[in-house]
Chains A and B, each alone.
Chain A
Amino acid sequence: MGMHLPALQVVIPLMAAGFALLAWRPRLSWTVAMAASIASFLISAQLLRQVLADGPISYNLGGWEPPWGIEYRIDALNAFVLFLVSLIAVVVTPFALRSVEQEIAAPRIPFFYAAWLLALAGLLGIAITGDLFNVFVFLEISSLAAYALISMGSDRRALSAAFRYLIVGSVGATFIVIGIGYLYVMTGTLNMADLAGRLPDVADQRPVIVGFAFLAVGICLKLALFPLHLWLPNAYTYAPSAATPFIAATYTKVAVYMLLRVFFTVFGESFSFDLMRLDAVILPLALIGIVSMSLVAIFQPDLKRMLAYSSVAQIGYMILGISFGSVTGLTAATLHMFNHAIMKGALFMAVGCMVYRLESSRIEDLAGVGRRMPLTMGAFLIGGLSIIGVPLTAGFISKWYLVLGAIERGWWPVAAVVLFGSLLAVIYIWRIVEVAYFRAPADGTATERVEAPLLLLVPTWILALANLYFGIDASLTTSAASAAASAVLGGGP
Chain B
Amino acid sequence: MITLGHFNYVIVIVLMMVGFYVLISQNNLVKKVVGLNIFQTSVIIFYVSAGKIIGGTAPILIGMEEHGAAEELAGAGEAVAEVASQAAESVGEVVYSNPLPHVLMLTAIVVGVATMSMALAIIVRIREAYGTIEDDEITLMDLES
Q: A147-B122, A160-B126, A167-B36 are in contact. Are A181 and B50 (CB under 8 A)?
A: yes
Which of the 9-residue segments B40-48, B60-68, B80-88 touches chain A?
B40-48
Q: Does A157 contact B (CB under 8 A)?
A: yes
Among A133, A151, A166, A181, point to the contact of B125 (Cβ < 8 A).
Answer: A151
| Range for the number of chain B residues in contact with chain A | 20 to 34
CB-based contact B46/A178 at 8 Å? yes
The answer for the CA separation of A78 and B105 in the assembled complex, in Å, is: 27
CB-based contact B46/A181 at 8 Å? yes
CB-based contact B29/A185 at 8 Å? no
Which of the 9-residue segments B71-79, B89-97, B112-120 touches chain A?
B112-120
| Set of chain A residues within 8 Å of B119, measured between Cβ atoms | 163, 166-167
CB-based contact A166/B111 at 8 Å? no
Q: Does B4 contact A (CB under 8 A)?
A: no
Q: Does A437 contact B (CB under 8 A)?
A: no
The chain A residue with its CB closest to the CB of B29 is A163
The answer for the CA separation of A162 and B55 in the assembled complex, in Å, is: 46
The answer for the CA separation of A171 and B104 in the assembled complex, in Å, is: 18
| Set of chain B residues within 8 Å of A136, measured between Cβ atoms | 108, 111
CB-based contact A174/B39 at 8 Å? yes
Q: A159-B126, A178-B46, A185-B50 are in contact. Are A137 and B118 (CB under 8 A)?
A: no
Smallest CB separation, B119 vs chain A (Å):
5
The answer for the CA separation of A184 and B125 in the assembled complex, in Å, is: 39
CB-based contact B138/A160 at 8 Å? yes
The answer for the CA separation of A140 and B111 in the assembled complex, in Å, is: 7
The answer for the CA separation of A492 and B36 in the assembled complex, in Å, is: 44
Q: Does A4 contact B (CB under 8 A)?
A: no
The answer for the CA separation of A178 and B41 in the assembled complex, in Å, is: 11
Among A156, A167, A177, point to the contact of B108 (Cβ < 8 A).
Answer: A177
In the complex, chain A residues 180-195 whose Cβ is within 8 Å of any chain B Cβ = 181, 184-185
CB-based contact B107/A137 at 8 Å? yes
CB-based contact A166/B43 at 8 Å? no
Q: Does A464 contact B (CB under 8 A)?
A: no
Interface residues of B (CB under 8 A from A): 20, 23, 29, 32, 36, 39-40, 43, 46-47, 50, 101, 104, 107-108, 111, 114-115, 118-119, 122-123, 125-126, 129-130, 138-139, 142, 145
8 A-B pairs (CB sep. < 8 Å): A136-B111, A159-B126, A159-B130, A163-B122, A163-B126, A167-B36, A174-B40, A181-B101
